[in-house]
Amino acid sequence: MIQTDHLTKHYQMGDNIVKALDDVTLHIPKGSFVSIVGPSGSGKSTLMNQLGCLDIPTSGHYRLDGIEVSTMNDNQLAEIRNQKIGFVFQGFDLISKLTAIENVELPLIYAGVGSRQREMRAKEALDKVGLSERIHHIPAELSGGQQQRVAIARALITNPPLILADEPTGNLDSHSGQEIMGLFKSLYQNGNTIVIITHDEHIAEQAQRILRILDGRIVEDREVS
């Protein structure tokens, strides 16, 4: 599913070269529930950008769902993101002037799906996250937890092989956060592959496998009992 080989990312910071990712080789099989944990500056955001096909590595290889991503251009990456990845961000990142259902439909618009099918699938996705009631509300009219559910529905709508969540509970109170984690767990039980990037140990523990990253290297890889 996810296979990286000696994945390395260097940044030029003035005269220094920062090794944000240093020779990361990892394998995440289909249907996993993995959390990538590490303090800020550890390289976890860089790893997330790589896994999320938002950026290409300085060296090394990345195969997602059998496709070599590391040499793609911007347009090819956009297409891969659209088809293979569902993003969930810390700040929900819904488009404020679009209603819940319009936000959820957005990936399908870029995939070129017709409006009738979009609407049907968006309703289905919103139903999966338990939000079939408020589909015509704009984000400002929804609570944080509800907004994050909309974001998850948006991530689910293309049936992507990978759902990538970056601190998905970071902006939520603990109760809403727990609900969102519950939602991820049930998605995992239904066969989705989920990768959560977090600095919160408590959240990380709820995954099936924990990858700990420090100074751009994977320093721990363990199954949660």
Partner 1 sequence: MGIFQAYKMAIKSIKSNKVRSFLTMLGVIIGVAAVIMAVALAQGSTVSITEQISSLGTELITVRVTPFNTNRDITWEDFQDFADDNSDVFSAMSPLISSQTTVKSGISTNTVDTTINGTTADYEMIKKQGVQEGRYIGDIDIDFRQPIAVIGTYTAAELFGQEEAVGKTIKLQNRLFTVVGVLTELEGGNQGTVDDQIIIPLSTAQRVLRNTRITNYSFLASSADAVDQAIEKLKSYLLEIYGDESMYRVQNAEQMLETLDSVTGTMMTVLGGIAAISLLVGGIGIMNIMLVSVTERTREIGIRKAIGAKRKNILTQFLIEALIITGIGGIAGLLLGCAAIWTLGRLGVVPSVYSPFWMVFSFGISLLVGVIFGMFPANKAASLNPIAALRHE
Binding mask 50-69 for partner 1 (x = CB under 8 A): --x-xx--------------
Helix (H) or strand (E) holding 183: helix 174-189
Binding segment toward partner 1, per CB under 8 A, in 31-39, 96-104, 192-200, 214-222 = 96-104
> In whole angstroms, what is the distance from residue 53 CA to residue 62 CA?
9
Applying CB under 8 A, among 8, 58, 83, 208 the residue interacting with partner 1 is 83
- Is residue 95 close enough to count as binding partner 1 by CB under 8 A? yes
* Nearest to 36, CA basis, from 164, 206, 211: 211
* Nearest to 125, CA basis, from 89, 160, 79: 160
Helices 115-128 and 144-156 cross at an angle (nearest 10°) of: 130
Applying CB under 8 A, among 4, 49, 70, 192 the residue interacting with partner 1 is 49
Q: How far is the CB of 173 from partner 1 (least distance, A)?
A: 22
Binding segment toward partner 1, per CB under 8 A, in 14-22, 35-43, 108-116, 123-131 = 108-116
- Is residue 9 close enough to count as binding partner 1 by CB under 8 A? no
**Residue with Cβ nearer partner 1 (125 or 210):** 125
> In whole angstroms, what is the distance from residue 113 CA to residue 148 CA?
24
* Measured CA distances, 85 to 12, 25, 205, 216 (Å): 28, 20, 23, 23
Binding segment toward partner 1, per CB under 8 A, in 4-12, 82-90, 174-182, 189-197 = 82-90
Residue with the two structure tokens 């009992």: 225
For partner 1, the binding residues (CB under 8 A) are 49, 52, 54-55, 74-75, 78-79, 81-83, 87, 89, 93-98, 106-107, 109-112, 154
